[in-house]
Amino acid sequence: MTKILSTSIFFAAAASVAAPAMAEEVNVYSYRQPELIKPLTDAFTAETGIKVNVAYLQKGMVERLQAEGSRSPADMILTVDISRLAAVVNAGLTQPMESDTITANVPAQYRDPDNHWFGLTTRARIVYASKDRVADGEVTTYEDLADPKWAGRICTRSGTNAYNVALTSAVIEHHGVEGAKTWLEGVKSNLARKPQGNDRAQVKAIWAGECDISIGNTYYMGKMLSDDEQKEWADSVRIVFPEFEGKGTHVNISGVALTKSAPNKENAVRMMEFLTSPAAQEIYAKANFEYPIAPGTEADALVTGWGDFTADDVNLMTLAGHRSDALKITEEVDFDG
């Protein structure tokens, strides 16, 4: 059974039994951690008087919403990774929403073309490079990662992890399925060890001398620097923002969507507009070392200190459409084997 924590107990019995809609509340399903969400819910409640109930899920959001159907208490979802947002949309569990406020705050590549989901913050999938063993300029593109010069020098987590599947989907977008398969084969041949662990484990491996570069999300640098044990790992590497040749750096998002049943739709729309506001984006981005996306916003000073980059401008829903092909070729090349 999915483990759930909640800021307010509004699920009293089985998942299929919904609490009655309340005039001044909004119910959220989220995969994100409580410490990332609470500053936002507190600020929204302080501004509007609307109570926010959050069910923190570890997995199974689509299945839960499907089981609850039209009786679901959930008004909106807040999650990370385009594949998770797309899964809820593709399952027919969301509804489109028109909002001039959100359109002004969320650039086109970070919102669903049919207005079913909207981005809040981004993170870049970048290269962590050893300060001692990798010179500036040695790796500049994602395509470089398949170069034989990196043989035995790359560490990464599983190729079927959502973050790496999204990156492979981006390779498909720019080079086609066969080009992406060739790229995956090249990256696999350059691995120092079988894919394992999370993004931080790869930086630890660089620190330990097991490899020289790794693939990871930017925000892990902030998390490592905030941990007494892991700070030493972080200090051993620098962040490199590779690009697809002429296309920019791959990014992924956290985002929100309005559920199909939404018993408190008006309040949910108000909260979604609040969350996409520049002030809320900056609060949220700072909490997890991410990048706000509203025009005129800035990331935290620590994050901006990692350097500038140009994000790939492909719409992320397009990348979600490549997910099945990305998984297929990852299995075909036996990337994790």
pLDDT of residue 19: 42
Residue 280, domain member (yes or no): yes
- Whether residue 128 is found in the same domain as residue 236: yes
- Whether residues 328 and 210 fall in one domain: yes
Question: Are 201 and 260 in the same domain?
Answer: no
Asked whether residue 172 falls in the same domain as residue 315, the answer is: yes
**pLDDT tens readout for residues 52-87:** 999 999 899 999 999 999 999 999 999 999 999 999
Do 185 and 316 share a domain, yes or no? yes
Residue 201 confidence (pLDDT): 98
Please check whether residues 20 and 150 belong to one and the same domain. Answer: no
What is the predicted pLDDT for the residue at 23? 54
User: Which pLDDT belongs to residue 4?
Assistant: 39
Question: How many domains does one find in the chain?
Answer: 2
Is 234 found in the same domain as 163? yes
**pTM for the complete prediction?**
0.88
Determine, yes or no, domain membership for 178: yes
Chain mean position to CA 114: 20
Asked if residue 149 and residue 200 are part of one domain, the reply reads: yes
Q: What is the DSSP letter of 265?
A: H
Q: What is the CATH number of the domain that holds 110?
A: 3.40.190.10
Could you tell me if residue 337 is inside a domain?
no
List the domain range (segments joined by +) for residue 191.
124-250+311-332
The C-alpha atoms of residue 239 and residue 249 are separated, in whole angstroms, by 12
Q: Are strands 25-30 and 51-57 parallel, antiparallel or unpaired?
A: parallel
Tokens of 117: 């989901």
3-state secondary structure labels for all residues of 30-64: ECCCHHHHHHHHHHHHHHHCCEEEEEEECCCHHHH
Which DSSP category does 141 fall into?
B
Q: Is residue 300 part of a domain?
A: yes
Q: Is residue 95 part of a domain?
A: yes
Nearest CA among 111, 70, 168, 126 for reference residue 306: 126
pLDDT of the residue at 49: 96
Same structural domain, 87 and 133: no
Instruction: Note whether 316 and 196 are same-domain residues.
Output: yes
Check: CB of residue 329 under 8 Å from CB of residue 183: no
Residue with tokens 């007494």: 228
Strand 291-292 and strand 251-258: the pairing is unpaired
Residues 147 and 53 in one domain: no
Say which residues have a Cβ less than 8 Å from residue 178's Cβ, sequence separation at least 6. none
Q: Are residues 65 and 84 in the same domain?
A: yes
**In Å, how far from its chain's centre is CA 168?**
15
Residue 294 lies in a domain: yes
Please name the residue ranges forming H helices in 190-288: 199-207, 219-225, 231-235, 265-275, 278-287
- Look at residue 97 in the predicted model and tell me its pLDDT: 95
CB proximity list for 271: less than 8 A, separation 6 or greater: 26, 28, 44, 48, 50, 52, 76
> Is residue 180 one of the residues assigned to a domain?
yes
Query: Which residues of the chain register pLDDT less than 70?
Result: 1-23
- Cβ neighbour number for residue 132 with a 10 Å cutoff: 10
Task: Please list, in sequence order, all residues whose beta carbon lies within 8 angstroms of the beta carbon of residue 51, skipping any fewer than 6 positions away.
Answer: 8, 22, 24, 25, 26, 45
> How much is the pLDDT for 246?
80
